[in-house]
C-alpha cells in the first residue's frame, strides 16, 4: 500500500486528475478575467454623466467696517 500512486493503473488517473484541476483553474481564471474586462468595457462605453452645476454665489460686503489701523512704534 505505500506505493499506491506508483501503481500504473492508479498513476494515470492521478495524473488525469491533476491535469483536470489545472485546466479547471485556467478556465476559471480566464472566465473571471473576461467578466472583469466586460465590466470595464461597459463602464467605459457609458456616456459620462454631466456633473450637477454648482450653485453660484456672489460675495458682497455687508456692513463693511473700515480697515483697522495698525499701530507700531516705528514712527
Domain boundaries, the chain: 19-45
Torsion-angle region of residue 35: left (phi > 0), alpha (psi -120 to 50) or beta?
Answer: alpha
pLDDT of residue 33: 97
**Per-residue pLDDT at 32 exceeds 80:** yes
- Range name among 26-30, 34-38, 45-49 with the lowest pLDDT average: 45-49
Q: Is 9 exposed, middle or buried (0-12, 13-18, 19+ CB in 10 A)?
A: exposed
Q: What is the rounded CA–CA span in Å between residue 4 and residue 28?
A: 31
Q: Are 5 and 11 in contact (CB under 8 A)?
A: yes
**Per-residue pLDDT at 1 exceeds 60:** no
Average pLDDT, the chain: 83
**Per-residue pLDDT at 3 exceeds 60:** yes
Q: How many CA atoms lie within 13 A of 23 on its CB side?
A: 6
pLDDT of residue 2: 65
Amino acid at each position: 500500500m505505500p506505493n499506491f500512486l506508483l501503481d500504473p493503473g492508479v498513476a494515470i488517473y492521478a495524473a488525469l486528475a491533476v491535469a483536470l484541476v489545472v485546466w479547471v483553474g485556467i478556465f476559471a481564471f480566464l472566465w473571471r478575467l473576461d467578466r472583469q474586462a466586460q465590466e470595464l468595457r461597459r463602464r467605459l462605453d457609458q456616456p459620462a454623466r454631466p456633473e450637477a452645476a454648482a450653485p453660484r454665489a456672489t460675495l458682497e460686503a455687508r456692513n463693511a467696517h473700515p480697515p483697522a489701523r495698525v499701530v507700531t512704534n516705528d514712527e
